[in-house]
Amino acid sequence: MRDTDFLQPDFPYASGAPERGIVAGGLPVALSIFADRPHLRATMRDDAQAAGLVVTAAGALSDLLQGGEVQPLGDVVLVDCPQVDAEALAALARLDLRAARCEARLIVSTSVEALDDVFSCMDQSEPVLLVAPNRAERVIALGQVLATFGPARLRDLSEDDRLMLLRLSEQVGQIAGRIECLSPGGALVKDTGSGGFRFARSSSGRLADEVGGLQNGRSHVARPSLPDARLVRGIIRQRQQRARFFDGGLFADPAWDMLLDLTAARVEHKRVSVTSLCIASGVPPTTALRWIGQMVEAGLFVRVCDDSDRRRAFIDLTDKAVEAMARYFAERAG
């Protein structure tokens, strides 16, 4: 199959005028679209072009699955895969590996039923996963990906395009900002050296986590144990009961709800799938996935593969998060 077989006649390159969305090296920011529904491909194309991207390939999902290594990837690849079988999962896994090697960014939309399978088979390229997204959620995801390119990579965008990307980036930034206030035992602060997050010293001088503590000769205070799972489950039930009397949106706090659910599961020695964690968050799956991604970046959640079945993966608390939750409940009890 030739590369040109994937180019659609209704996606022509502009002639006689410079392309928008040009990177510093003079090459266009290329985007590929793979979805079975023609109207969805057209919508993706319109939104991508509005963001200054150049659509270089578009077609049905089968084109991507059959293309294998021959199909060229763009800088950004949009894939809509609401249903999966063994062949589709194998193709997504290959796409994941290829994207990781060439540093392409993937945005993959799927269904709740297929989420665990898609999440498990794509663990190399850190794709942005969406669950039955609407148009706005797709645009936000596209803006989130473009924001990672940095201002040095994009030029020749119109002022309207720049404002749109700024607004989308601000929405993603607001999520990250809320995470900075999560830790009860210590503030989460941005680590400007690594671009990640670390636990900082609280006002009382206690450290939630500090790697250099023992190296500097300071004794490490023993971490209290996590509480009884029945206590945590009781708190979760109480939080859920509020929706019987008030609009649930008034109390949406997905990060804390997921922390509670994972804390109880840790004590119960249970594994939590990404779908189960999305349900526990109390918000739409796509919103929950954005929060899970932010919590992973913040060093609170970690992806864990199933040793007995590499096709499955779960979400667990990191040691930092376990320590913070243990200290929170210890102080709460006191």
Boundary-marking domain end, from 119, 151, 177: 177
* 189 and 102 part of one domain: no
Tens-level pLDDT at each residue, the chain (334 residues): 333 333 333 333 333 333 344 443 445 678 999 998 999 999 999 888 887 788 988 888 888 766 555 567 888 999 999 998 888 888 899 889 989 998 899 999 999 999 999 999 998 999 999 999 988 888 888 888 877 775 555 554 555 655 555 555 555 555 555 555 554 444 444 333 333 333 333 333 333 343 334 334 444 556 789 999 999 999 999 999 988 898 877 888 999 999 999 999 999 999 999 999 999 999 999 889 989 998 998 999 999 988 887 778 999 999 999 999 999 999 988 6
* 88 and 55 part of one domain: yes
Residue 303: its pLDDT value, please? 94
Residue 267: its pLDDT value, please? 96
- Which tokens in the block code for residue 14? 């502009």
Residue 181: its pLDDT value, please? 57
One-letter amino acid at 289 equals L
Cα 14 → chain centroid: 33
Boundary-marking domain end, from 142, 177, 212: 177
Closest by Cα among 228, 224, 250 to 239: 250
CATH number of the domain that 298 lies in? 1.10.10.10
Number of domains comprising the chain? 2
Asked if residue 265 lies in contact with residue 271, where contact means CB atoms within 8 angstroms, the answer is yes
Closest by Cα among 37, 52, 49 to 109: 37
* Residue matched to tokens 């939080």: 239
Asked if residue 317 lies in contact with residue 324, where contact means CB atoms within 8 angstroms, the answer is no
> Domain of 60?
3-177
What SS3 state is found at 194? coil
* Residue matched to tokens 């250099």: 212
Q: pTM for the whole thing?
A: 0.69
75 phi, psi to nearest 5 deg? -65, -35
DSSP assignment of 277-324 equals HHHHHTS-HHHHHHHHHHHHHTTSEEEEEETTEEEEEEEEE-HHHHHH
Asked if residue 134 lies in contact with residue 117, where contact means CB atoms within 8 angstroms, the answer is no
